[in-house]
Amino acid sequence: MPNPDEIFGAYVFDDAMMQRRLPKETYRALKRTTEEGRSLDPAIAGVVANAMKDWALEMGATHYTHWFQPMNGVTAEKHDAFISPKADGKVLLEFSGKELVRGETDASSFPSGGLRATFEARGYTAWDPSSFAFIKEGTLCIPTAYCSYGGQALDKKTPLLRSMQALNKQALRILRLFGNDRVVRVVPTVGAEQEYFLIDKEVYRRRPDLMVTGRTLFGARPPKGQELDDHFFGVIKPRVQAFMKELNTELWKLGILAKTEHNEAAPAQHEMAPIFTTVNIAADHNQLTMDIMKKVADRHGMVCLLHEKPFGGVNGSGKHNNYSIATDSGVNLLNPGDTPSENAQFLLFLTAVIAAVDEYQELLRVTVASAGNDHRLGAAEAPPAIMSIFLGDELNGVIESIVSESRYAGHEPSQMRLGVHILPKFPKDSTDRNRTSPFAFTGNKFEFRSLGSSQSISGPNVVLNTAIADVLMHMADELEKAQDFTTAVDALIRRTLRAHKRIIFNGNGYDQAWVEEAERRGLSNLRTTVDALPHYTDDKNIALFERQKVYSRLEVESRCEVKIENYIKIIDIEALSTIDVARRMILPAAIAYSGEVASALQAKRAVMPDLAAAEEPLLKRLSIHTSELYNAIEALHKALQDMDTTQPMIAQAQYTRDCVVPAMNAVRASADALEPLVGEKHWPLPTYQELLTSI
Ligand code: ADP
Ligand code: MG
């Protein structure tokens, strides 16, 4: 295998490639465009497109596509060949600037939440030149944003780019106040750790529930689960090792900085962490990573499961969104600095994050709400549904002393004037292993841990960028008017921390006592997706998005609707699949096995009428659970039929949560009770044991 440095970025039309292939002037113009976050001049687009096409053809590509991320959180591509017809019946290989910069697409079947009626189905895609084009399976992919002709964002990239702009603008105002004149651009940086399961393809194929819904809808507890904790960071099996090796190679070719790989807590569970990068690129890369994980697994006779909860009773999968804010020269604004002024600046940004998370806690909860994630949040394996911030002892001490104007670590109270305060370096110590916190400070960044493994990271980062931008805006408004900057910063930080310190929680988030404590503090506890989603359109949240020009009211409402609809659809598919598997596989198996036991009993009774026979109590138990199962299936069926589709979406979602989900769980409960009773030869589904040890 070639060295990583030889293959890294080989399939990407990256900066080095552009520099090599573009005329100097064009390259510089393009660079300016991306650095200053402006839109692309059509004059240079043609030159770039041509160079890109030549490169792609040399790399063996025949098609190009505008690669985009519709609101359903997956990626979409429509492939076009480079060919155009010539008069002599031959073809010309062409790719114009227009085709690079803007594509038209009839994408009426993508969810739009009513934003785009199907009769005006066309939308257009526009290249995001800050994310490089790349080649995937013979196709040149151009990362694009996707909008309607009315200019409404129909995708996940557009709002992310808008939110980056908002944050850039406000963060620059703050930096200028600190005398930072040279910084041109501020960007959010993200490293997204991705968890996933690998199971054998043959075993997978015998689980229709898993194939249809991405998770097992049935399965009794295996004799050996994760009780022994022997999987976490354990030795990686050869088949998995081979998968990881190829995955890394594929990701490196695409310029994705795949860095860390290890086994996770559950059996068959693993994690991949890339090195962080600018958030829009991180979002593109994470989508690609999920895509490529599935494809590589397939080539190795395995299936990669990205669902948040593939197996009941076994840890599910999440995604950790490591977040910070950096300047164009690479200075991390959430890193405590070496001078008092840098430290005041750090504390101001830190305070802004704290205020933003507290102020918009419901909105952040909304961004991680999904049917899949409902199995995790608050289930003592993932963070609680309550938003809170973990700071660690040391930083918490600093914050406490600021709030109470008392001494910290030997400094006299008078020295706590922020302008002259020297902060300690916060070591990335073991305290960040408080895995129960949804939002933890880990030395020089925050780790937002509530994301579901299959979701796009765009939504959470849109809200983080926007909320932080908004807090910074109010701070800048105040500080720009101040007579004495140092005093004003000092007062502003103290006042803001006092107002928002309720969001800071350094204890055990799995503890029931925290739920009560959080309630006393007035923090919201939005337990399920259905509880959370209506907050998307709270006046306060729409006002935030409009103020920062990230979403219009219509765009928020449409996204909210897409999310609610998605929840209903997912549970509906799960319920139908539950009925299907239970009726056609499990019930017949239980009946057949009961018949066998009954015949055995009858035969035994014929020769030994008075002796005790295990068949009898077994048959009784089988019969009880079988009829339970039958009734539960009928009840689930009825629950689905009784759904009133004339009701508003949110009411349907509530009904789904309150009536369909419990009915589905009841079917599973009786099926899972049957599983250990029914003979192995009769049981139609691979067991959890088989699934989790299939590799
Ligand atoms: P761990 O969480 O296992 O201790 P690290 O803290 O080193 O590992 O990093 C976890 C993730 O955080 C990685 O993806 C890493 O690139 C990312 N990360 C590190 N620094 C930053 C930063 N300044 N901004 C965003 N992400 C970062
Ligand atoms: Mg981590």
pLDDT digits (tens, 9 = 90+) for 546-567: 999 999 999 999 999 999 999 9
pLDDT of 531 > 50? The answer is yes
Strongest mean pLDDT among 105-119, 232-246, 324-338: 324-338
Q: Whose CA is nearest to atom 14 of ligand 1?
A: 191
Looking at the CA of 435, name the nearest ligand. Answer: 2
- Per-residue confidence band for 266, with pLDDT thresholds at 50, 70 and 90: confident
For residue 193, report the distance from its CA to the centre of ligand 2, in Å: 7
**Ligand 1 atom nearest to 190, measured from its CA:** 25
Tell me, what DSSP letter sits at residue 685?
S
Q: Which amino acid is at 434?
A: N
pLDDT of 409 > 60? The answer is no
| CB 274 less than 6 A from any atom of ligand 1 | yes
Q: What is the dihedral of CA 447, 513, 369, 130, to 10 degrees?
A: -10
- Per-residue confidence band for 681, with pLDDT thresholds at 50, 70 and 90: very high
- The DSSP bridge pattern shows strands 63-67 and 139-148 to be parallel
State what percent of residues in the chain have pLDDT above 90. 71
Looking at the CA of 448, name the nearest ligand. Answer: 2
Identify whether the C-beta of residue 242 lies closer than 8 Å to the C-beta of residue 668: no
Say which residues have a Cβ less than 8 Å from residue 147's Cβ, sequence separation at least 6. 123, 124, 125, 126, 153, 154, 155, 158
Ligand 1 site-directed mutation target among 167, 270, 276, 431, most atoms within 8 Å of CB: 276
pLDDT of 650 > 90? The answer is yes
- Angle in degrees, 0-180, between the axes of helices 539-547 and 553-581, rounded to the nearest 10: 120
pLDDT of 431 > 60? The answer is no
**Ligand 1 atom nearest to 443, measured from its CA:** 6
Q: Whose CA is nearest to atom 23 of ligand 1?
A: 324
Lowest-confidence segment of 229-233, 432-436, 451-455 by average pLDDT: 229-233
Q: What is the pLDDT of residue 118?
A: 44
pLDDT of 418 > 50? The answer is no
| CB 439 less than 6 A from any atom of ligand 1 | no
For the beta carbon of residue 182, count every other beta carbon within 10 angstroms: 8
**Cα distance between the two ends of the chain:** 24
pLDDT of 576 > 80? The answer is yes
Across all residues in the chain, what is the average pLDDT? 90
pLDDT digits (tens, 9 = 90+) for 350-406: 999 999 999 999 999 999 999 999 999 988 888 999 999 999 887 888 888 888 877
- Please list the residues that pair with 451 across neighbouring strands: 319
Ligand 1 site-directed mutation target among 445, 446, 457, 461, most atoms within 8 Å of CB: 445
- The H or E element spanning position 470 is helix 458-480
Q: What is the pLDDT of residue 415?
A: 42
Looking at the CA of 289, name the nearest ligand. Answer: 1
How far is residue 377's CA from residue 525's CA, in Å, rounded to a whole number?
Answer: 11
| CB 321 less than 6 A from any atom of ligand 1 | no
| CB 445 less than 6 A from any atom of ligand 1 | yes
| Residue the block writes with tokens 């198996």 | 589
pTM of the full structure:
0.94
- Per-residue confidence band for 412, with pLDDT thresholds at 50, 70 and 90: very low
Ligand 1 site-directed mutation target among 264, 322, 332, most atoms within 8 Å of CB: 322
- Calculate mean pLDDT across residues 235-262: 92
| CB 332 less than 6 A from any atom of ligand 1 | yes
Helix (H, G, I), strand (E, B), or coil: what is residue 373? helix
- Per-residue confidence band for 120, with pLDDT thresholds at 50, 70 and 90: low
| CB 277 less than 6 A from any atom of ligand 1 | no
Lowest-confidence segment of 7-16, 43-52, 422-431, 583-592 by average pLDDT: 422-431
For residue 275, report the distance from its CA to the centre of ligand 1, in Å: 7
Using a CB cutoff of 8 Å and minimum separation of 24, what contacts does 27-30 make? Answer: 30/129
Identify whether the C-beta of residue 66 lies closer than 8 Å to the C-beta of residue 7: no
| CB 159 less than 6 A from any atom of ligand 1 | no
How far is residue 485's CA from residue 489's CA, in Å, rounded to a whole number?
Answer: 6
Question: Across the chain, how many H-helices and E-strands are there?
Answer: 24, 18
For 254-302, where are the alpha helices, taking DSSP H only?
Answer: 279-299
pLDDT digits (tens, 9 = 90+) for 515-526: 999 999 999 999
How far is residue 334's CA from residue 423's CA, in Å, rounded to a whole number?
Answer: 13
Q: What is the pLDDT of residue 378?
A: 83
For residue 446, report the distance from its CA to the centre of ligand 1, in Å: 9
Q: What is the pLDDT of residue 33?
A: 82
Q: What is the pLDDT of residue 420?
A: 41
| Residue the block writes with tokens 């370096």 | 425
- Per-residue confidence band for 149, with pLDDT thresholds at 50, 70 and 90: confident
Residues in the chain: 695
pLDDT digits (tens, 9 = 90+) for 181-228: 999 999 999 999 999 999 999 999 999 999 999 999 999 988 766 554
How far is residue 285's CA from residue 654's CA, in Å, rounded to a whole number?
Answer: 35
| CB 324 less than 6 A from any atom of ligand 1 | yes
- Calculate mean pLDDT across residues 424-438: 64
- Per-residue confidence band for 581, with pLDDT thresholds at 50, 70 and 90: very high
| CB 450 less than 6 A from any atom of ligand 1 | no
Identify whether the C-beta of residue 322 lies closer than 8 Å to the C-beta of residue 193: yes
Identify whether the C-beta of residue 267 lies closer than 8 Å to the C-beta of residue 23: no
Q: Which amino acid is at 556?
A: V
| CB 278 less than 6 A from any atom of ligand 1 | no
Helix (H, G, I), strand (E, B), or coil: what is residue 632? helix
| CB 276 less than 6 A from any atom of ligand 1 | yes
Q: Whose CA is nearest to atom 22 of ligand 1?
A: 324
| CB 129 less than 6 A from any atom of ligand 1 | no
- The H or E element spanning position 258 is strand 258-263
